[in-house]
Structure 1
Amino acid sequence: MVNTPNNIDLLPHSKIYHDIGNKETINSIFKKNDKFITTNKKVIDYCILAPESVWIKFKLHNPTSSHIKKIISFENIFLEEIELYKIENQKIVSKKTTGFYHLKSFEGTVKLNVPVILNPNTTQDYYLHVKNEKLSLWFKPIIHDPKEFKKEDTAKQVIWALFFGGILSLVLYNIFLFIFTRDKIYLYYFLYLIATLMQSEFSSYIRFYFLPMDDIEFVKKSLYFNLFYINVFVTFTMTLFIRYFLNTKLYPKIDLSLKLIIFIIPIYYILQTFNIFTIPQVILFQFLTPYYYFGIGIYALYKKNPQAKFFLLGWSFALLAWLSLFFKFLGLIPEKYVFTYTFETLIMAEVILFAISLAYRIKILEKKKNDLTKSLLIQQQNESNRLEKIVTIRTQELNNELKQNELLLKELHHRVKNNMQFITSLYALKLNDNGDKYIQEKLHDVERKIHAMSIVHQMLYNQKNLVTIDAKEYFEKVLQNIKDSFELENITFELDINSFLDTEEAIYCGLIVNELVTNAIKHAFDSKGGIIKISLNSVDNGTLLEVSDNGRGKSANTKASFGEMMVESLATDQLEGKLQIVVDKGTHISLWFKNKNQKSNDESNDS
């Protein structure tokens, strides 16, 4: 029965027939009713990479006195053809067709779906035929209420838009870095990000949106191009990036192997115009190369390459993302064990990690510059007369380079601030479109976190000092943004801040304060309100951050939320501090950490 607003998994209520070779038609399948079998599975996940299809036989019953509209959705966009037959007395009453080869343009939804309308007080027979000629056959058919389907599809569009916007921001960030520095590594990473965007499912819908595809053969060629060219292009761009990122010229044999891959891929493109290679062969190549690159990273770490640890961490995310994508399309892992947005989440984590490591590259260059300055000063003491002129000339060059780096860094802060404001604007637009309070609350939380980070870059852009910021001014702006997000009644804030923070420390402390204050506003007080106190002072050669309230106090049995785990991770892993939580007439949270200068002194003493 379908008179329910809840989603219904179709397969457990159906019978299925696996048609290997796509031999059956609707007329011939009527004669094979005894071949249909029941199943407890909720997902079809075959993997033979050959022509195959599935016939699903089911009944829908409408016990009400009014018409009911339902939507049958399919999670996999790359299902080539889907046919829904309405049957009465072994005769076809109607037929509806959809599928990747039948999407002539973007119609507002990102899930393949077929609408169904049931007459009052009727039971209707249906045959659902889903087939693929080349890719593995996997999908999860679900019967939705139209409103629920629209809500789920909108949520998926929001996630994809955020993924696309985040990658696009990093694309712009790296192309500007390349323009200003002329360092090829930023160009190669820019190309890798472009290839990643082209590889995603979201890019398929962008093509449908801008290039309506009425010709099925053209759509097939588009899918063929994506399989045999775009996927390999990702490997090509990543190979270029790895050579420069790990500086493989230090390892001649490894560097030669990477050069061979770069040389072979264009030859592959030429040969593939004659359809020489098959899907399994391309998948095998795509499956093995990431492992080889991971092995190169391990060898570079063994050789104490400073960039190797960043590469291994970021590439681990990429490796898991590609494996999840291959396993998903090949049907090797049941769909129910795979998070819907696994690929997007892991790729976003990877690109952010590599972006951070490329920013760290600038710090390494700054350190090399400082080391060179010290070396010149030592030489000046030993050969003051001869080197005085050299030191003067070199110092002038370094000052010019420093000015250029400061201008570049200032521009980067400006670009990052603008990119974060752009992402915040996207959240605001989606908040206006989405009426789900839970989703709105989660989007507001993310928006406040992004804004807290954006304030740091805005302050750095507006001041001459690019190393530290005034913590009091920064926290006041973070709190003002929080106040603007809530309707506060009887809640007051007390600040005791007498310190400056390094840029990196400010971002982490801002995120911590944003999370703790937001939690206190949401959960600490009743209608009588209360007081939230925030202090930041220098204590014991370090910095002490305290956030407290006089509310009801955090329950000891409460399961840690994502925000609390994030606060603990930032406090212990990033700031390397000591976090303490005391619940007594409210909640008192303190975090002590060494400032950046103290850490440097300790590391020098240890060495």
Structure 2
Amino acid sequence: MQCMFLSNTGRRPNFVIRCFLISLLLFRLTDTWAAEPLTVADSKRIYAVADHSDMLTSSVHADQIGKHWSAFRPFDYHQVRIDVDTNNVYWFRFTVRNQTDESLYLVVPTLGYATVLLYEWSNGRTFPIGKGGLQAVMAEKYLPASRDIMRLPLRPGQQKTYLLRMNRFDRKSLPASIYPQYALIRESHPTDVIEGLLFGILLAVVLYQLLIYAVTHERDYLLLGGYLFAFTLQLAIFSGHFYELFRDIPFWLNDRLFYAIPIMTALLSFAFAYYFLRIKTRTDPIIRYGFRLLFGFFLIFLIAAVFGFGRIAVLYQNTTPLAAAFMLYTGTRIYRTGYKPAFLFLIAYSVPIFAILYLSLYIYGILTYSWLNHTMLLMSSDAHAILFSIAIAYKIKTYKDETERLIVAQNIQLEQKVAERTRELAEDKIRIQEQSDQLKMVMKELHHRVKNNLSIVSGLLSLQSNQLTDEQAIRAFQEGQQRIEVMSLIHQQLYKTDQISTIDIRQYIRELTAGLIHAYGFGERSFDFQFHSDFDELNIDLAIPLGLILNELLTNAFKYAYRAVDKPVLIINLHKQAGLVLEVQDNGPGIDVSNWERSGGSFGKRLIKGLSQQTGGEFTIDNTNGTRFQLHIPESELALA
């Protein structure tokens, strides 16, 4: 038993040694889980950090990271969580060996990371050597660039281990890369030039839209210009160029802009699509109410982003795919209704969607970071803007063509109506002309018969006067016969012409005066007859009373004024003076005005007064240089005649 005891006791040191060796082996095996060092040997090459890094998900402080050294595991993009807050903190450990003669730089794209902190691991301690991310101000960064650039204090031939602390990921990848100085300069210049060119194209399209709107006042141009401007601002934020221009923006404002600008872009996109696709005129309830619902959601997201409610604002990322699918559905439905501009809308809208689908492969870690991934969205945005500009131009051209076709169709329809109406008017004109000709014939026949009847009456009066012996009765019959001749003369003129209701007043007065001159035994050569008329024609309703008045005046003149006158003068004027003025003057001894103005008197006197009142006129008589008679008929009475 003792020997056995001694034997067991002697074996204890060997057991302890074995346990110690096994522990060392396990620790060595654990330590070999560390990724292989990243060896930088070519100054023209860019080296990705992801393939040579270990990762740890922990919010531990940098001073305590050494206690969790064995917890690091090889980088696995499946372990990265896409989030919007800063609660998920990731540590990345990688070792770099510099076998070039140049300085090395760690480059991380500025896109969605809240903080990027770079530490050097030396002698079991961490030393901060670089800072980046959206929370870092430009003064804290190594270079004010669109990317976070941090210099690695690594001399040629030296090897060091680094720790990269990052939070708030918007992709399942680690796009950090190691750049030798030459590679950084060579890669940065063409990248900046191309990005500047692509941004310049976007801004040029925005300016073009606004200028066209200023000229045409087409609302589509203004909405597209506003949408593309917000879209350009969104791309500038995502690419980091926004922070190159505005370096001192505080994090709280930067964080709100990061969410608010994309939501504002989406709202302006909805507004542009609403008017471009003429949603207001659509009867599809899915389209009409879908637009209102999505617009309301994004408006709530915008308010949340402005007031700093990040968890609500980030919901727009989950709603965006639904909104994109709805836009494609709307454009397709409207295109099927025959609205041709919707086809170009679908093409323009699909370009960034395909780009985002491609970039989602990078976001979820299937693709690694590359220059194509970096500029894919910007290039697709240029195509997106240009295609939308073409779509608006095509829409306006389509409207113009439709308007021209509508105008042509309306003109044809109007011409047909005008032709039909012209034909109807021509037929009416022919019918009216026929009726007018018939009326003229009837009126001619009527005037002829009236004239004949008046001639018969005049003849009867002449026969009757031949049987009378009383001189006064004979004169009365002769004066009545003259008055009938005055009226008969008017009907004779109407019968000879094509006129129905008007006569040539000049010819009528001349014939009337000539008849009376001959009737009272005067010769035209020995008689000074002066006549002037401002009127060519007068209505018979006015001509008959004027003729009767003139007959009475001339009869009195021939009977009394020219008995003791060697050279008789008769002046008759028709003037246009606020109506019509008939002036008759002889060169006789003059009438006794006081006797004329007395009431009563001869039939001729009463006839002149009655006919003057019938015409609505007023007359005056004076005996200056003979007898002068003036009758004034107002313009208002002429219009009624």
Q: Shorter-chain-normalised TM-score: which range?
A: 0.5 to 0.7
Q: Distance in 2 between matches of 1:301 and 1:307?
A: 8
1:189 aligns with 2:220: no
State the distance in 2 between where 1:283 and 1:327 align.
16
Q: Which residue of 1 aligns with 2:49?
A: 11
Structure 1 Cα separation of the partners of residues 78 and 199 of structure 2:
29
1:232 alignment partner, one of 244, 248, 263: 263
Going from structure 1 to structure 2, the CA distance change for 1:138 and 1:192 (only over 3 Å counts) comes to same
- Cα deviation per residue 1:182-218 (whole Å; 9 max; x = unaligned)? 22111111111011112114576454344331x6xx2
8 Å contact kept, 2:117–2:164:
yes
Give distance in 1, aligned partners of 2:418 and 2:269: 48
Partner of 1:147: 182
Do structure 1's residue 114 and structure 2's residue 150 form an aligned pair?
Answer: yes
Shift in Å, 1:344: 1.1
How far the C-alpha of 1:355 sits from its partner, in A, is 0.7
Q: CA deviation at 1:356?
A: 0.8
Aligned residues, how many? 376
Larger Rg: 2
Report how far residue 292 of structure 1 moved. 0.8
The structural deviation recorded for 1:321 is 3.7
Contact preservation (8 Å) 1:72, 1:144: yes
Q: Which residue of 1 aligns with 2:323?
A: 289
- Mapped pair 1:247 → 2:262: no
Q: Structure 1 residues 116, 312: closer, same or farther in 2, change over 3 A?
A: same
CA shift for structure 1 position 319 = 2.2
DSSP-derived class of the 1:138 partner: coil
The letter of the residue matching 1:334 is L
Per the alignment, do residues 300 and 2 of structure 1 end up closer, same or farther by CA in structure 2, a change over 3 Å counting? same
What is the Cα deviation at residue 91 of structure 1? 2.8
Q: Give, in angstroms, the shift of residue 260 of structure 1.
A: 4.1
Q: Cα RMSD between the aligned structures?
A: 3.1
Superimposed CA distance per residue, residues 262-316 of structure 1 (whole angstroms, 9 cap, x where no aligned partner): 4554444445527284355221122211111111111112222212211111111
**Residue in 2 aligned with 1:422?**
none
Equivalent residue, structure 2, for 1:24: 60
Deviation by residue 1:538-579 (Cα, 9 ceiling, x = unmatched): xxxxxxxxxxxxxxxxxxxxxxxxxxxxxxxxxxxxxxxxxx
User: Taking structure 1 as reference, are residues 346 and 24 closer, same or farther at Cα in structure 2, changes over 3 Å only?
Assistant: same
Equivalent-residue separation in structure 1 for 2:334 and 2:104 (angstroms): 56
Q: Does 2:413 match 1:375?
A: no
Contact 2:172 2:365 in 1 (8 A): no
Q: 2: distance between equivalents of 1:387 and 1:219?
A: 77
Give structure 1 stretches of 5+ with no counterpart. Answer: 389-607
Pick closer, same or farther for the CA change 1:90–1:77 going to 2, 3 Å.
same
Classify 1:263/1:96 alpha carbon distance in 2 versus 1 (closer, same or farther; 3 Å).
closer
Partners in 1 of 2:155 and 2:165 — Cα distance? 25
Tell me how far apart the structure 2 counterparts of residues 350 and 33 of structure 1 sit (CA, whole Å). 48
Q: CA deviation at 1:387?
A: 8.4
Among residues 186, 211, 229, which one is paired with 2:246 in the alignment? Answer: 211
Task: Tell whether the 8 Å contact from 2:146 to 2:239 is kept in structure 1 after alignment.
Answer: no
Q: Among 397, 400, 406, which residue is 1:366 paired with?
A: 400
Cα contact 2:108–2:176 (8 A) shared by 1: yes
Deviations 1:503-544 (A, max 9, x none): xxxxxxxxxxxxxxxxxxxxxxxxxxxxxxxxxxxxxxxxxx
Q: Is the 8 A contact 2:121 2:163 kept in 1?
A: no
Judged with a 3 Å threshold, the aligned counterparts in structure 2 of structure 1 residues 277 and 340 are, in CA distance, closer, same or farther, namely closer
Partner SS for 1:140: coil
- 2:386 aligns with one of 336, 339, 352: 352
- Rate the CA distance shift 1:385–1:14 in 2: closer, same or farther, 3 A: closer
Mapped partners of 1:75, 1:274: distance in 2: 24
Q: 1:59–1:260: structure 2 CA closer, same or farther, 3 Å change rule?
A: closer
How far 1:175 sits from its partner (Å)? 1.1
> Which residue among 250, 253, 258 is the counterpart of 1:221?
253
Asked if 1:35 corresponds to 2:71, the answer is yes
Query: Structure 1 residues 119 and 291, CA, compared in 2 at 3 Å: closer, same or farther?
Result: same
Stretch moving more, 253-262 or 342-351: 253-262
Question: What letter corresponds to residue 14 of structure 1 in structure 2?
Answer: H
Identity %: 19
Return the alpha-carbon distance in structure 2 between the equivalents of residues 129 and 102 of structure 1: 15
- Contact residue 185 and residue 245 of structure 1 kept, 8 A: yes
The aligned counterpart of 1:299 is 333
Q: How many Å separate the matches in 1 of 2:237 and 2:138?
A: 16
Match of 1:87 in 2: 121
CA distance in 2: counterparts of 1:378 and 1:119, whole angstroms: 87
How do 1:539-558 residues align onto structure 2 when only pairs under 5 Å count? none
Which runs of structure 2 are paired with 1:494-573 in the superposition (5 Å)? none
Change (3 A) 1:384 1:8: closer
Output one character per residue of 1:465-509: Cα deviation in whole Å (capped at 9) or x when no partner: xxxxxxxxxxxxxxxxxxxxxxxxxxxxxxxxxxxxxxxxxxxxx
The one-letter amino acid paired with 2:291 is: L
Q: 2:112 is matched with which residue?
A: 78
Cα distance, 1:92–1:166 mapped onto 2, change above 3 Å: same
Q: Distance in 1 between matches of 2:269 and 2:127?
A: 53
Q: Distance in 2 between matches of 1:93 and 1:376?
A: 83
What TM-score, normalized by structure 2, do the two folds share? Answer: 0.53
Structure 2 CA distance, aligned partners of 1:38 and 1:266?
A: 43
Separation in structure 2 between the aligned mates of residue 16 and residue 203 of structure 1, nearest angstrom: 27
- Paired AA for residue 247 in structure 1: R
**Contact kept in structure 2, 1:111 and 1:153, CA below 8 Å:** no
- Is the alpha carbon distance of 1:119 and 1:322 closer, same or farther for their aligned partners in structure 2, counting shifts above 3 Å? closer
Change (3 A) 1:323 1:130: farther
1:156 aligned onto 2:191: yes
Question: 1:131 is paired with a residue of what secondary structure?
Answer: strand
Query: Paired residue for 2:204?
Result: 169
2:600 equivalent in structure 1: none
1:55 aligned partner: 91
Which runs of 5 or more structure 2 residues have no equivalent in the other structure? Answer: 1-38, 423-641
Query: CA 1:377–1:111 in structure 2 vs 1: closer, same or farther (change >3 Å)?
Result: same
Cα pair 2:81 2:169 within 8 Å, conserved: no
Q: Which residue pairs with 2:290 in the alignment?
A: 257
Deviations 1:209-236 (A, max 9, x none): 44331x6xx2243123321x21111221
